């Protein structure tokens, strides 16, 4: 998966003109791996991708039959730009398909996102032209987070009992394991402690535990790269190449998280519009991408203050603990965005974690549609409720003007902007605000 992420990072070399040519202003959220699509208005002489974008922004159903009927007239557009849309008709089904028991730990499930369940369909030029095709096969990979890698390493090292049923089930399907979430988390922890210039070094005693964990997991599970040393050297090399961009992604995620928490502190639950406008204004003023996934999680949190994904940062008691929890939640947010990066290579990740709030967020981020623009190998996860809530809502349209979109695109293309200074300022402002609120509560 690291090579996929590397290719994704290197793919952001489009000019504004090229985005216009395909009819979208796409505000790439480099941190989230997601995109905010702005549907422009043009004068048309024939049906174009611009017309398609307008129709997509006004769809009322995600049933395959409805979409094929509505989009059949765009078959030539699908062919020209190698477009495909994955339709998820089965979001209501239970995502927890595997039951798992670790030694001294119960894992409630492994989440299989979007693809792999009944009710998942692909719309492309063939389906729109009524051409029979062989069903498309998707490549699955099982992403392991830090907790799971640690527990797997402990199990294999101590030879305790029979490994969990779900791993045996996954192995029988010959799926591949990928500890990228764990590796990225470890890199980001080093970044928090050591700054922008931090890189992994195999000789560094501080990552000896990481290397040992990977050795054990690699030896006992199924990996595409079979040679252990080659795999270890490869992931260290690739992560170091991507480090700057990953730090940047992480910081954009963290800024989004900070602005969400700031809005929650400034306005009451009844002032939901003011909360959302504060977040959008903060992102816009700092020329930051506005991703569909961030908007989705923000909406869930502002509708339900007890939404579990934000549980670690909901309350402020101790500054040091709060900052650690803020960093941890920002890393989890980045993990939640990996599917849209992997989907660009027709990989669909099963997230293996025993972190319930993370699993819940991963589940809730199932998109209604996955739009793949093959011409540029870009993927966007589309949520109908978010389109309705933001794109069609007059209360928020001023944040998605062409001028603001151009600023965000320009900012997203500058690899030298890590937003480290903005993080420091925003974090200090949030801590100050939360301390003031905490003090007022104590004085009541």
pLDDT, one tens digit per residue, over 36-71 is 433 333 333 478 877 887 788 778 777 888 888 888
Residue 443 confidence (pLDDT) above 80: no
Sole residue written with tokens 């008691």: 317
Q: What is the structure's pLDDT at 46?
A: 78
Question: Strand pairing partners for 382?
Answer: 369
- The residue among 260 and 170 whose pLDDT is bigger is 260
- Please state, as a whole number, how many other Cβ atoms lie within 10 Å of the Cβ of residue 336: 25
Average pLDDT, integer, range 222-229? 88
Tokens of 250: 């992480």
| CA distance linking residue 278 with residue 359, whole number of Å | 28
Residue 382 CA neighbour count, 13 Å, CB half: 27
| CA distance linking residue 37 with residue 240, whole number of Å | 31
Residue extents of the structural domains in the chain: 2-443
| CA distance linking residue 237 with residue 11, whole number of Å | 19
Q: Quick one: which of 301, 398, 312 has its CA closest to 355?
A: 312
Residue 342, exposed/middle/buried by CB under 10 A (0-12, 13-18, 19+)?
buried
Supply the pTM of this predicted model: 0.82
| CA distance linking residue 284 with residue 412, whole number of Å | 12
Could you tell me where the DSSP H helices lie in 100-159? 125-128, 146-158
Tokens of 168: 């045996």
Question: How many percent of the chain have pLDDT more than 70?
Answer: 76
- The residue among 356 and 104 whose pLDDT is bigger is 356
Q: Could you tell me if 178 and 170 are in contact, meaning their C-beta atoms sit under 8 angstroms apart?
A: no
Average pLDDT, integer, range 251-269? 96
- The residue among 60 and 20 whose pLDDT is bigger is 60
Residue 196 zone, left/alpha/beta (φ > 0; ψ -120 to 50; rest):
alpha
Q: What is the structure's pLDDT at 227?
A: 94
Q: Could you tell me if 247 and 418 are in contact, meaning their C-beta atoms sit under 8 angstroms apart?
A: yes
Q: What is the structure's pLDDT at 391?
A: 72
Q: What is the structure's pLDDT at 296?
A: 94
């Amino acid at each position: 998966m690291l090579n996929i992420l590397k290719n994704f990072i290197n793919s952001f070399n489009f000019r504004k003109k090229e985005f216009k040519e395909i009819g979208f202003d796409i505000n790439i959220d480099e941190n989230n791996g997601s995109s905010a699509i702005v549907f422009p208005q043009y004068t048309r002489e024939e049906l174009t991708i611009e017309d398609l974008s307008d129709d997509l922004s006004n769809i009322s159903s995600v049933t395959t039959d409805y979409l094929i009927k509505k989009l059949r007239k765009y078959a030539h557009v699908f062919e020209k730009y190698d477009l495909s849309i994955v339709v998820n008709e089965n979001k209501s089904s239970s995502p927890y398909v595997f039951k798992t028991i670790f030694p001294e730990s119960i894992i409630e499930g492994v989440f299989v996102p979007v693809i792999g369940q009944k009710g998942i369909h692909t719309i492309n030029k063939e389906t729109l032209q009524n051409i029979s095709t062989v069903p498309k096969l998707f490549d699955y990979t099982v992403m392991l987070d830090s907790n799971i890698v640690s527990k797997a390493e402990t199990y294999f090292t101590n030879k305790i009992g029979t490994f969990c049923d779900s791993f045996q089930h996954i192995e029988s399907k010959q799926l591949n394991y990928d500890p990228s979430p764990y590796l990225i988390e470890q890199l980001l922890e080093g970044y928090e402690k050591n700054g922008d210039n931090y890189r992994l070094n195999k000789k560094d005693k501080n990552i000896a535990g990481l290397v040992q964990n990977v050795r054990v997991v690699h030896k006992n599970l199924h990996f595409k790269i079979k040679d252990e040393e080659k795999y270890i050297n490869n992931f260290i090399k690739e992560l170091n190449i991507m480090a700057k961009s990953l730090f940047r992604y992480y910081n954009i995620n963290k800024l989004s998280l900070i602005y969400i928490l700031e809005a929650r502190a400034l306005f009451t639950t009844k002032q939901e519009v003011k909360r959302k406008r504060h977040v959008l204004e903060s992102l816009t003023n700092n020329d930051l991408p506005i991703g569909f996934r961030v908007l989705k999680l923000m909406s869930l949190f502002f509708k339900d203050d007890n939404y579990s994904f934000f549980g670690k940062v909901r309350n402020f008691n101790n500054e040091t603990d709060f900052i650690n929890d803020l960093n941890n939640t920002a890393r989890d947010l980045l993990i939640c965005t990996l599917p849209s990066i992997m989907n660009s290579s027709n990989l669909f990740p099963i997230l293996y974690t025993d972190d319930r709030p993370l699993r819940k967020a991963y589940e809730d981020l199932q998109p209604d549609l996955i739009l793949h623009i093959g011409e540029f190998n870009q993927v966007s996860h589309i949520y109908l409720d978010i389109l309705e809530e933001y794109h069609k809502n007059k209360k928020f349209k001023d944040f998605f003007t062409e001028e603001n979109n151009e600023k965000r695109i320009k900012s997203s293309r500058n690899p030298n902007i890590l937003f480290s200074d903005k993080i420091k300022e925003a974090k200090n402002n949030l801590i100050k605000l939360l301390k003031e609120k905490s003090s007022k509560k104590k004085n009541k």
